[in-house]
Structure 1
Amino acid sequence: MLTNEQKALQQLIKYSAQGQWEKVNLYCQIINPQTLLDPNNTKIFTALKYLFLEKQTSHPWDKIKSQTEIIQELITYLQTHFPQDNFTKESLSFLSDNFNEENNLDFLDNLKHTYTQEKLFQQLLKIISPSFENKDPYHKHLYYQEIFDKLRKFMAFIPRKSDQTLFNLNQMASLHPEFFDTDNQAKQKIQEEYYRLSETFKGLNQTTKGFKKGQIITIGGYTGLGKTTFVYNLLIDISKTKHQETNKHPNMLVFSYEMTLEENLSRLLAHITKTPLDVILDKNFEDSNITQHTYTERMKTAKQLFANINLSFSYDKGKNIDYVIDLVYRLYLEQKIEIIVIDHLQITKSTNHLENDRLAID
């Protein structure tokens, strides 16, 4: 297990190998090496700063080195100037990127004891300082633009967890060990991320393994094709399957802009009770094989399901995307929403947020 200081030194090596010298220079300016807790770390930091920032090079290309070359040059320097400390390749193996798979996005947090906020602020002022004093009112916007550009650059130097958008396969594998393990704990962790379907949708279930949390799915087709009915059938199936697995029905919400309350209720009843829609609406028992007693029993079963299932419908007549966003956010904060259906997608076309339908929903 690496210490915070070792993680920070490893990160400096990585930035150096990537040629991010402005970033390395900023960190070396704000960090006071004398405040490092391990004396060996102080020597490593000082040597790194001297070799790759302060030492004169004959050509800019001399700075371009691989991680292995940087570490080897560092070892040679330390062994020459600090022979009593017995620096070896093994003792500095933590500097290698392969030693630890973690991405150190808490770089500055790990080194809070080595710098002050005042020191960081001084570097901010130094970096955003304009390169010229332009008093020409016709070009004053360039003066301010340069300051803002430098400010954005400074903010990019401060690592944040939200910045992590680039992963290699090894890092991806370390984030999800459950895909590689064979025990029930790994299986359970995967299942928690999915809303699976029953054998009724066997083909869809085998293809998708269900619907994963965070997915946005668009279902398209001609008018009258049965898209809404199909989605409702999926919701009921997902809820029943999740209840079998966890003894809990997921919270689901439908923004219904295509069907009325009566239409939704009658179609759901037709699906759940396996009763033709015309029998539900017309009570035409004579022309069907369903007796009134059978019908009553089926409706009792449906009522019991409706009492337990967590499926809600919004019939907002304003058809306003802002209403959708506000309601979903409130339910999310209350942990009362897991699956959302918007029927139909055209509601997003009136939004002022984004011109793209899927992005507006996202």
Structure 2
Amino acid sequence: MTVESTAARTPRRSAGNKAGTTGTKRTTSTTKKAAGAGKSAEPALVQLLTPEGKRVKNAEFDKYVADVTAEDLRGLYRDMVLTRRFDAEATALQRQGELGLWASLLGQEAAQIGSGRALRDDDYVFPTYREHGVAWCRGVDPTNLLGMFRGVNNGGWDPNGNNFHLYTIVIGSQTLHATGYAMGITKDGADSAVIAYFGDGASSQGDVAEAFTFSAVYNAPVVFFCQNNQWAISEPTEKQSRVPLYQRAQGYGFPGVRVDGNDVLANLAVTKWALERARAGEGPTLVEAFTYRMGAHTTSDDPTRYRTDDERLAWEAKDPILRLRRHLEAAHHADEGFFAELETESEALGKRVREAVRAMPDPDHFAIFENVYADGHALVDEERAQFAAYQDSFADEDGGK
């Protein structure tokens, strides 16, 4: 058993998602059986697809993906491939000097696409700065994710347009934002849910602990989705926690579950389960997606300085995209024509991203001073004048001042 406990719109292309929920409080069999879970040496792990692409049964979570069709599976595969292609293009653009920084999701596609496709449109997402796959699922144009990393805007999209909050750079603070939003949902009487994404490193932040406390006490409809990619920059998980991260939920009084983060089907199932709990008034859930960051923490990082090639190669064998492709081929759900067409679409996406980034106009250098105070401020006026003098100190294109 995998779970430990002490206590209005339809998605754009949801893989077998049921929009209907119940408004009455219920106790799932998963939660009832939670006592004593996770006491073995190896933490329990929800898995529906093995690294070889073989479908395996899970008595607790199979029902949440029972209506997933071959078309849905191809859609999940397409999502992961295009997200990876976008991510690779963004990394290349940073290396070419077009972006100041980039946080790659390489290797974490299944966790993001699986959980992202479990959401209803009226659910609200609070991401970190790496949830490019979730943004894709919410309908945010990939090019809009790049403005902040190019330094031309502070986000690039309307959070309420897709119920997808702006990227959060401050580590862990979005879990508090999500908790407060979820508490507001209960006051409004809505049946939607909230999901907050964070990493294993953020799980050590005080903001996350406070979010767990408030969400439990107020029974907030929030799913805490931790992508445990094994490394908080250069710090391994074993130096952050004495217990598996999902077991931390037990101390706060709500369920925790560990899912194979490279299994898109398992992430879809577990997240749907957690969201249904939230909508039914059963409070928060902690999902730990056990995955691996195949690339650097960001483009300013060099992972070869702190981890081995053997470790990376072992996780490459568990690649989420290769895993689903093996399943599609073995089940005859996709042919070479499908994969070839997707490759063409992938390259077209890369080209569109390149062109869009290079065409982004530079921002007004003085706009940053305009929205600090409604009525102006003497100190801001002084800073604006100093900045103007600094700008004027540079030579223009003709070599003059």
Give me the TM-score of the superposition, normalised by structure 2. Answer: 0.22
Give me the TM-score of the superposition, normalised by structure 1. Answer: 0.24
Q: Which has the larger radius of gyration?
A: 1
More RCO (CA 8 Å, sep 6+): 2
**Structure with the higher helix share, 1 or 2:** 1
